Structure 1
C-alpha cells in the first residue's frame, strides 16, 4: 500500500483514497476488523488524520460500506435497452460475477454488519430496496400488477438471493449460469405466489 502522505492530494482525493484502502481491506477481512489503527497503518497515514476525515470509527465504517455498496449497485445496474426478462437475467448474472470477484467484500456487506452501527445497517438495507425496486420495474413492465404483496415478496427475495450467493457462489463455487437459473426459477415462484395474498 503506498504511503498516502507522499502524495499531494485535495481533501476530497485524500478521503477517497482512504476509503478505497478501507474497501480493499474488506477483500480479505471483515468490517469489524477494520479499526482506525489498522486503516492508518495500511494507508501509511497518522491516526489523527483519519479522525480528521471520519470523526469516529463508525463514520469510517459508514464511508467504506457506502462505497462498497455503491460499487455493487453500479456493477449490477440494469441495462434499460434489454427487454424485461433479458434485463433480469443479465442483472443477476452480473451480480453473480461481482460476488465471485469480490467475495469477502460481499460477505462483509451481507453478514458483517449484523451487529454493527444502525447507520451502517441502513446503508446495506438501502441497497436491498434499490434491488427490489429494480425488479419491480421489470415485472410491472411484464404486466404484473404492482401491489403491497409483490413489494414484500421482492424485498424478501433479495435477502434470499444474498444468502444464496454466499452459499452457492462463495462457499461452493457453483457455475454462475446454474446459479442464475436457480434464482430466476425462485423469483418467478415468489412473484406467482403473490396472487394468493390479497393485500
Structure 2
C-alpha cells in the first residue's frame, strides 16, 4: 500500500495521527469495533505500521481511550477565576456541550468500556475520580467538611451524571441548558442530603 505522507511525519507525529484517527472512529462506533486492521485502513497506512506503534490491540485501545479521556478533562477543566457555584455551573455546561459535540466518543468512554479490558476501564475510572475531586474542591471552598461520605457521594454522582448525559444529551437531544439545570439540581440536592453526615 502506498504511504505518500509517511516520510514527512516524525514518529511522534505519526503516532499522534493514528491516535487521532482512532478517537475519530469513536464518533460513530464503539471501542470494541476498533481493530488494528480498521485503524490501518482509515489512516491509509499498512497494518505492520500500526503494530509498530502500538504492538497490540490493547495498546492501541489504551492510547485512544487516554486521548479521548484527556480531551474531555481539558474541555471541562474548572475555571479558577469563577466563584465556586458559578465554577460548578460553568463546568457542567462545558461538559454537556462537549458530550453533544462528541457523542460517540463520550458514549464509548462511559458505555463501550464497561465490559472491556480492565486497563482501559482503569483509565476511564481515573477521569471519574478526578471529576469527583474537582467537585469536592468547590464544595469544600463553599464551607462543606471534607468527609468520607461527601467524597463517596460525589463519586457516585459522577456516575449518575454520565448516565444522565447519555440519556438526555445524546439519546434525547435535550438542550444543554435543560441538562445543566437538572444536573445542578441533583448535585446540590445530593450534597444537601449528606451535609450533616459525619461518616
TM-score range, shorter chain: over 0.9
Counterpart of 2:56?
56
Aligned counterpart, 1:173: 173
- Which residue number corresponds to residue 6 of structure 1? 5
Task: Give the Cα–Cα distance (whole angstroms) in 2 for the partners of residues 157 and 115 of structure 1.
Answer: 21
Residue in 1 that maps onto 2:68: 68
For 2:195 and 2:101, how far apart are their aligned partners in 1? 37
Structure 2: 5+ residue stretches without partners: none
Separation in 1 of the partners of 2:46 and 2:197?
A: 57
Distance apart, 1:6 and its partner CA: 1.7
Give the match for residue 117 of structure 1.
117
Shift of 1:198: 3.0
Q: CA RMSD in A?
A: 1.1
Does residue 17 (structure 1) correspond to residue 17 (structure 2)? The answer is yes
* Alpha-carbon distance, 1:175 to partner: 1.4
TM-score scaled to structure 2, two decimals? 0.96
Residue 21 and residue 4 in structure 1: after superposition, are their counterparts in 2 closer, same or farther (change >3 A)? farther
Is 1:35 aligned to residue 23 of structure 2?
Answer: no
Q: CA deviation at 1:196?
A: 5.1
Indicate conservation of the 8 Å contact 2:99/2:169, yes or no: yes
Give how far 1:176 is off: 0.9
- The farther-off stretch of 42-51 and 4-13 is 4-13
What is the TM-score of this pair, normalised by structure 1? 0.96
Q: Which runs of 5+ in 1 are unaligned?
A: none
* Alpha-carbon distance, 1:68 to partner: 0.3
Residue 105 and residue 188 in structure 1: after superposition, are their counterparts in 2 closer, same or farther (change >3 A)?
same
Count of paired positions: 197
C-alpha displacement of 1:115: 1.3
- 2-side partners of 1:196 and 1:81: how far apart? 29
How far does residue 31 in structure 1 lie from its aligned partner after superposition?
0.5
